[in-house]
Every structure is written in structure tokens, then in C-alpha cells.
Amino acid sequence: MNIMDMMVVDANAEALGISKTLLMENAGKCIAQKIFEISKPCKVNIYAGTGGNGGDGFVTARYLLNHGFEVEIFLIGHPSRISSPESLKNWEVLHKLNIETSSIVLNIIEDHSQLGFSSAELVLDAILGTGTKGKLREPVSKAIDIINSSNSTVIAVDIPTGLDPQTGMVEHKAVKADFTVTFHKEKIGLKNADEEYLGDLKVCDIGIPEEAELYTGPGDLLRLTQRNINSHKGQNGNLLVLGGSKDYSGAPALAAISALRSGVDISVIACPKCVTSTIRSYSPDLIVKSLSNNYVTFDDTAKILELSKNANSMVIGCGIGREEETGLALTEMIEKINMPIVIDADALKLLNLDLIKHYRNEVILTPHKAEFKAFFGVDVPKKLDNQIDTILECSKKCKCTVLLKGSTDIISNGDKIKLNSTGNPGMTVGGTGDVLAGIVGALVAQGHEAFEAAYLGSFINGNAGDLAAEEYGYNLIASDIWKYIPQVFKRRI
């Protein structure tokens, strides 16, 4: 698990009603229990930072006091710099203890000269943990020297200070722990860390439920790419939507406008000539390119390939129809292009599994149950557990990401699984799948890998639909949903 994954899981747990305060309490208690396993009551020095890692140390101090330990805390930085509300709350709790009768001493360290040799039998490193970034500064650097030069048993909270949480490497110096207590799951950096720094590793369950990781939640919005303030037109993604036919003009427009609402700079629709004027009339923000008259044909492949040269991703299938020649044209085109593609709607019935699994780039399929059966030749089971197994197996078989739309969306890349439960019964209305395809295509165009784009798109689409339902009830239409997409993006934590 990397640091972003942990941030996402923490936020999703909070959305489920499990507060960060509770998680910090559980973490501190877990550290204390490890200390009880290895030591009788003794003197403990806790070196604490101003982030969440320090808060874990503050909680640990309370449990140690209750079991007869003498505790001295060295806060590395002024209390005004404590960035975590939960940490600040636990620091204030320590100040409310009767210091004169309690076996605790609180020190505020703002300069390395205030630090001296530690004679404690046990030292707790709660300085930086996964918050380690860049070169270590004073007084953190001096604190590491003191910890390493002591004869104490050293326990690191979550990850030894100075150890890169992503790589496990040590750039300058790091705490050399005898024990490391990490939370929820082993961090990616710990897998590569030298035992000299890590010591014995314990992974502690702090009460984060499986659902916080398996299901998408507001924490996943942390993964959204950040727009460069110096970027110019085209640097934030260019999407090409190939769709539409004489019977369907709205579907490609829904996808393209949803993509614009999801942050791409340019959204181009390539569609049959008979619906070009209609699609242009939906929005002045759309760029619409005419193909053959009534449906996509062989004659269109050269133009589509030329348009694709400027795109970062494609959405194929929205309203494209089921003409045999269209299917043959799509097959020829896909053999020649090389970019991430989202395949939706009728295109799932026109293209075949063998073609897709040999495609040179990332593919995302977005079927509902009937389209899934048409493409894979497999019925979707009724039970969720069986559905998950089926989607996992089929996505592995086609070597692509599958987003099965339903009351609970199931997303898999053949290796990982994500579920999404946002959305509501009003979203059974036609066109919501086109909105989803546009969002997913936009996320891919902005640099998200296929699996991440699929489950983020699923969450954003469902969440926007829920916001639309608050205003319109279940009488919403697909174009109501795209209006709320920016609001979901603004909820990024």
C-alpha cells in the first residue's frame, strides 16, 4: 500500500463514520500494547512531530501513564504548527493532566540546541513517519542522531523517521528502530527497507473496514490529477468521441459534454453527417466533425485516424448503431490506432474479444449486463460475490478493464477489484451510460491509468446522479447529471 492509498482509505473510513480521532486512538493503543509486550514499566522518551504521527505518540503516552510508565515528550516544533486537528486535541489532553502528580514531562523543542542525550530505557519515534519529504531539517535531524546514539530500545510509529515511505531508501539519515509498528497494511516503502532501520515489523489493525478500500468513496477523489496553473489549451486532455447514427444524436453529445465537465480541454465528436447539425446545436463548446451520411463506414476510417492523432483517448460506441459495415470499419480502425480507448454501448456488440485482447494500449469496457453477455458470451450471476468473480475472470481474459454497470458497479482490470455504490434508481434513464463513458474517457485523457479512471468515473457519475436526484427526484434525465459533475470534483478533499 502506498501513501496515497492510505490517505484515500483514511478518508473513505471517515465517510463511513469512522473518525480520524478514533483511528488515532486505536493506533496509539496498538503502539502501547506493543510496548507492554516487550517492556515492564520504565522511563520512555517520545519524540513527536507536529503531524498525525505525533498525535499517535500523544495517545500512546496516555496508555503508558495508566500502566505505570514515566513519560517525557519532546514535541519537535511549536504547538501552533500542529497541523492535524486530532493531534492538537490529544496534545491539549496531555496539558490538562495534573503535571505535578502525573509521571509526564512535556518539552517544546524549537531549536536543536534544546535536545540532549536520552537516558530512557525506551524511545518512541513519532516524528515524521509517512510524512517524510525531502531533506531532513533541524531539529528533526538532531533528534534522529539522539535516538540512534542512545542505548534505548527504539520503536518507530508507522515508519522510521527519515525512511522514504515510497521507496524504503534513506537519503541522508533515518531512525534505526528495533521495532516498527505500522497501521492497517504494510506500506510499500517498508517492503524494501533495510532491517537496520526497520527492525521487527508489526502491522496493526486499527479498525479500518474492508469497505473503505473495496468501495469507492470521497477519499478516492484525492487521486484526481491537479491542473498545472501554467497550463494552456490542450495540456489537460483531448478526447475524441466516435459515435452517433441516423437514429441517435444525443448519445455522443452527452459523452462529449460530460468529458468537458470532467476537465478535458478539448472534446471532439466524429459522427455521421446526418446528425452533425443536431449535435452542434446542443452546445457551442463542442467540436463536431462530419463523417459519412447515415452511419460510420469504411470510407470514414482515414478521417477518424487523422482526428485521433490529436487525441489522448477515445470513446467509441455512443449511439453508433449496429450496421455491419460500422463494425467492420471499427475493427479496421482499432487495428491501426494506439491510444487508450473506452468502448461503450453498441460498439460492444460490433467488436469481438479476440480483437480487444490484442489491442496495443489500454482498453476500458463499460457494459451493462446485456452488453456484457453479448461481448463475453457469459451471463452475469445474481449474487454480488459471484459477479465479482465473473468480472475478475473476464477482465483477465480480455486483458482490459471492465466496468460492469449496475446497482453496484463492479470494476476490474483482471488483478484488482473496486465496487461503487453511488447512484440511484433514477439513473436507469437512457443516456446515463454515455455520461459515464465521457467521464471515464476524460480521466484517461488527463493521465489516469485505465483501472483508476474507470472506478473514479463510476464514483463521479453516480455521485453527480445523486446530486441531480436531490433536485429532480427520480425524474431526472441524463443531461441533468452532467450539470453536477463539477460539484463532485469540487468535493476533492
**CA separation for the pair 298, 260 (Å, rounded):** 29
Tell whether residue 299 is among the known ligand binding residues. no
What is the pLDDT of the chain when averaged over all its residues?
A: 95
Tell whether residue 135 is among the known ligand binding residues. yes
pLDDT in tens, 380-394: 999 999 999 999 999
All three cell numbers of 392: 475478475
pLDDT at 279: 97
pLDDT in tens, 34-54: 999 999 999 999 999 999 999
pLDDT-derived band at 416 (thresholds 50, 70, 90) equals very high
Instruction: Kindly tell me if the per-residue pLDDT of 133 is higher than 80.
Output: no
**CA separation for the pair 479, 249 (Å, rounded):** 13
Tell whether residue 172 is among the known ligand binding residues. no
pLDDT at 357: 92
**CA separation for the pair 24, 187 (Å, rounded):** 17
pTM here is 0.93
Contact assessment for residue 240 and residue 445, using Cβ atoms and an 8 Å cutoff: no
Tell whether residue 134 is among the known ligand binding residues. yes
Tell whether residue 151 is among the known ligand binding residues. no
**CA separation for the pair 71, 45 (Å, rounded):** 6
CA dihedral defined by 368, 371, 377, 379, rounded to 10 degrees?
30
Tell whether residue 207 is among the known ligand binding residues. no
Tell whether residue 319 is among the known ligand binding residues. yes
Grouping H, G, I as helix, E, B as strand and the rest as coil, residue 147 is helix
pLDDT in tens, 357-406: 999 999 999 999 999 999 999 999 999 999 999 999 999 999 999 999 99
Tell whether residue 130 is among the known ligand binding residues. yes
Secondary structure of the chain: what % helix, strand, coil (to 5)?
45, 15, 35
Instruction: Kindly tell me if the per-residue pLDDT of 99 is higher than 90.
Output: no
pLDDT in tens, 448-488: 999 999 999 999 999 999 999 999 999 999 999 999 999 99
Tell whether residue 434 is among the known ligand binding residues. yes
Tell whether residue 52 is among the known ligand binding residues. yes
Tell whether residue 78 is among the known ligand binding residues. no
Q: What is the helix (H) or strand (E) element at residue 349, kind and residue range? A: helix 347-350
Tell whether residue 56 is among the known ligand binding residues. yes
pLDDT-derived band at 234 (thresholds 50, 70, 90) equals confident
Tell whether residue 234 is among the known ligand binding residues. no
Tell whether residue 125 is among the known ligand binding residues. yes
For the chain, domains (ranges, CATH) are 3-214 (3.40.50.10260), 231-490 (3.40.1190.20)
Scored b (16 or more CB within 10 A) or e, 29-64 reads bbbbebbeeebeeebbbbbbbbbbbbbbbbbbbbbb
